[in-house]
Structure 1
């Protein structure tokens, strides 16, 4: 059984030792390809797959001599059976290759063994996944396996060296062409061994690919008889490695630029990576100590930690993922910093923990701010409590004051109500006195004066046609009596016009306006009556008349107007009286201060009469702009009216 040097190294077989089925069994039985190889089976290598089909890309693992587990892929082709060959000699062909003769040549036993070995090597050569090319001393390819032909895009076997070199263009990784004498096969033919060197070549499809070359010279009796090159397509691996390097560089950039301290540990919790933020935070370069145990680590409400209880150690040894775990870390110079720790285990593809990563966020300032905020909140709560107590006392005082004011307001309202009743009684008494005086003047004094007038007129009628001079004095006396009687009637009408009781308010207003124009012939009075007599309540009639009388007399006495306009109308549920003139106007505030309260005259008298009945009184006047008096009385009137 033949093994290449690389296979011997993989299986741990010494170069001079014979290969046994136990070595192959150790490999085949440790994989996951479903083989059932047995050391006692003679055909363990003759049935690689169902019905003798080849197996490609099978994955195996193997315990290496240093204790590690190695993984590799392999291809397995069906080997030749002993019955497939008839013994025959190996003949040397003119081109130096060996040939296997037929069954009729009856070789010896050693020739038969050599034939089998040549066939097995040929089959192994063809089954190799990596491209392999064998060169003669002149550099002409004499053998190329299928993988090499696929890689080249043509079969180079027997191709002249110069033609082959023109087709086989290799570039360095920097895209510079490889000189002839530096080609792997040239260097191998010169006696140099080429190990794992990368070159770039364009394949048959025009794609640029990366290959790893190995080349060794072939020697016979100390002289070089050729060379062999083994090529491995590293394009995908290089791309993945470049991608991995790019991602690693990006990850390192992220870690190094992160504002939080980041520490990575291995499976024994030894620190393998830190970023600048971690070094700045710990004020030193963390080495082998467990992060969080750099100085006593402790929680605010618990005793110091056992190192194995620290977050990173728990992630490494127990596989825990720690989120927002608060620690207090003592730093050099006695400084204590509070950190918020987040850790997670790092696992390989098989799920085994190979380390852990921890992110340490310094919350010292935030914690101090929180403590200060709590202190400020406590102080604020204290001040709020004090202020609340003060406000409570103030509210209580205000409540007492409000109660006191309510009592005062109640007494004031009672006083105002009593005042209204008193005003009403006074006005009612005043009107009754006026009515009585007017009646006395009209019925008693007026009647007596009339009797005296009639008696004097009778005496004068009995006198001769030419009476003496002393008789003329009686005529003057009669004239004075007539004037006195008229004045008595006017005074009686002003005190209480009998027409108000006999004909009503509207007739009284018409009579008053006619009498007003008689006494003030230079003033024109305009009446606008828009209400019926039955719509005016009896208690309101004397109030409306007295306000009208006062407003027009004040205008005639003080304003010297040319026109007075009187409006009496129904306005919703109220009766509205408006008296306006175009006189010289006045200052209402000054006149109000000069008025005599509840006298029947003046602005305050009109306001008192309206207020007694629950009405509203307004007066608008400006110098040289006239005056307007407005009264609005409710229907029905207030009970005190």
Structure 2
């Protein structure tokens, strides 16, 4: 285990000047007083010692006493210094032992390296995580436990971190970090790094955690989400196919039958006698009901799947949808659609997603927004089709987007994600709601062989 850097702060057993606590001002004053008396007595002996022998004797006795006192003081000082040193050494050993026990019993692996990135500390959790004994790890380069493809980048990252002056930092915030066990197997980790300076040496300490189980759970969750999204997309495609089939049957078969019935009613009306006004009125009512039925069948067929979307393309279908909405809802619509040539490479599935998003947006404007005007933009940017719908209504709230019953928005988002696009719904500058949908012109799933 690496020695901990010593602190420059005075211990609790020292005065602020760095001297032991028992060196106090009274002690220093007494020593200075004795020294002053000795100096004065020696001066007096030098001046009058030849005529006063008793003064010489007193001076000698006093010198001996002072020497004895000094010897005793030095002995006591030495004993006190030894005791203080021993006490401080015991306190340091206790703190080191306590810190070592904390590091050793930590649940997370802790590794400390010096400025040459050689390991100087390797706790018990690190031994278990990497399958390597401490005796083998100490002194080894840290790269021993890093996969080959990450070693150069890791060394540079540590060197950059040492120059920042930052004390601690989390590693791999935007990516998964990988470590290498002694048996050559890799495992994902999350880690933080810190740096300290002890004397002239710099040490880096990494605290890491094995996240294999968590990553397995996350991967499983992502796979399940992908499967659910795939299933949802397949369900939507099946619905579209069923809607298309029903719409064509309504348009072709039921529409033809209604047309034939209308022709029969017209034939009957032409042959009614002039003296049967009640019958003529009934025939006119039948003809009106037939006209209404034909209109309803056309509307239902268009709502299920506008045939012009398949026959004429997205541009004509979007124009018809917006014009029909403006007439029925009384909302002024500003429509801006790119030339039809821009959508030549647009495939069926993305076209359906754009049309359904436009249809759902206009339905929401008519039902919930209370808007007087709407703006619709349909553009092609590179290999992406972009739809933007905005209104000047009351606007959507964040909690409305998160409501479980907001199935229309959820369906649009799932369509977009499935196709590799994105959907954004937010409040517009005019106060209403703005919807932006971006989907690729060509679906990777449709283009795949």
TM-score by length of 2: 0.57
1:633 maps to which of 433, 439, 446: 439
485 and 330 in structure 1: CA distance in 2 versus 1, 3 angstrom threshold: farther
Corresponding residue SS for 1:409: helix
2:390 maps to which of 580, 586, 607: 580
Residue 414 of structure 1: how far off its partner (Å): 1.1
Cross-structure match for 2:223: 414
Question: d(CA) in 2 for partners of 1:371 and 1:635?
Answer: 80
Contact 2:247 2:301 in 1 (8 A): yes
Cross-structure match for 1:606: 412
Question: Could you say what the CA RMSD is over the residues aligned between the two structures, in angstroms?
Answer: 3.6
Cross-structure match for 2:3: none
Contact 1:585 1:621 in 2 (8 A): yes
Contact 2:108 2:209 in 1 (8 A): no
Question: d(CA) in 1 for partners of 2:430 and 2:377?
Answer: 22
1:500 pairs with 2:309 = yes
450 and 392 in structure 1: CA distance in 2 versus 1, 3 angstrom threshold: same
Cross-structure match for 1:441: 250
2:72 maps to which of 314, 331, 334: 331
Contact 2:350 2:441 in 1 (8 A): no
Contact 1:580 1:626 in 2 (8 A): yes
Cross-structure match for 2:179: none
Corresponding residue SS for 2:229: helix
Residue 459 of structure 1: how far off its partner (Å): 1.6
Residue 535 of structure 1: how far off its partner (Å): 4.9
1:618 maps to which of 424, 430, 436: 424
1:555 pairs with 2:365 = yes
1:538 maps to which of 345, 348, 359: 348
Contact 2:396 2:426 in 1 (8 A): no
1:514 pairs with 2:323 = yes
Cross-structure match for 1:590: 400
386 and 637 in structure 1: CA distance in 2 versus 1, 3 angstrom threshold: farther
2:290 maps to which of 476, 481, 484: 481
Residue 478 of structure 1: how far off its partner (Å): 1.2
Q: Deviations over 1:265-303 (max 9, x none)?
A: xxxxxxxxxxxxxxxxxxx847998xxxx79xxxxxxxx
Question: d(CA) in 2 for partners of 1:452 and 1:332?
Answer: 132
Q: Deviations over 1:438-485 (max 9, x none)?
A: 011111111111111111111212234554312320121011111111
Q: Deviations over 1:296-321 (max 9, x none)?
A: xxxxxxxxxxxxxxxxxxxxxxxxxx
Residue 415 of structure 1: how far off its partner (Å): 0.4
285 and 433 in structure 1: CA distance in 2 versus 1, 3 angstrom threshold: farther
1:529 pairs with 2:337 = yes
Q: Which runs of 5+ in 1 are unaligned?
A: 1-255, 258-283, 296-328, 339-363
Residue 607 of structure 1: how far off its partner (Å): 2.0
Question: d(CA) in 2 for partners of 1:627 and 1:606?
Answer: 15
1:382 maps to which of 91, 94, 97: 97
* Greater fraction strand: 1
Corresponding residue SS for 2:395: coil
Contact 1:619 1:629 in 2 (8 A): yes
Residue 336 of structure 1: how far off its partner (Å): 4.6
Corresponding residue SS for 1:633: strand
Contact 1:330 1:336 in 2 (8 A): no
1:405 maps to which of 214, 220, 229: 214
638 and 376 in structure 1: CA distance in 2 versus 1, 3 angstrom threshold: farther
Q: Work out which structure has the larger RCO, using CA pairs closer than 8 Å and 6 or more positions apart in sequence.
A: 2
2:262 maps to which of 433, 453, 456: 453
Residue 498 of structure 1: how far off its partner (Å): 0.9
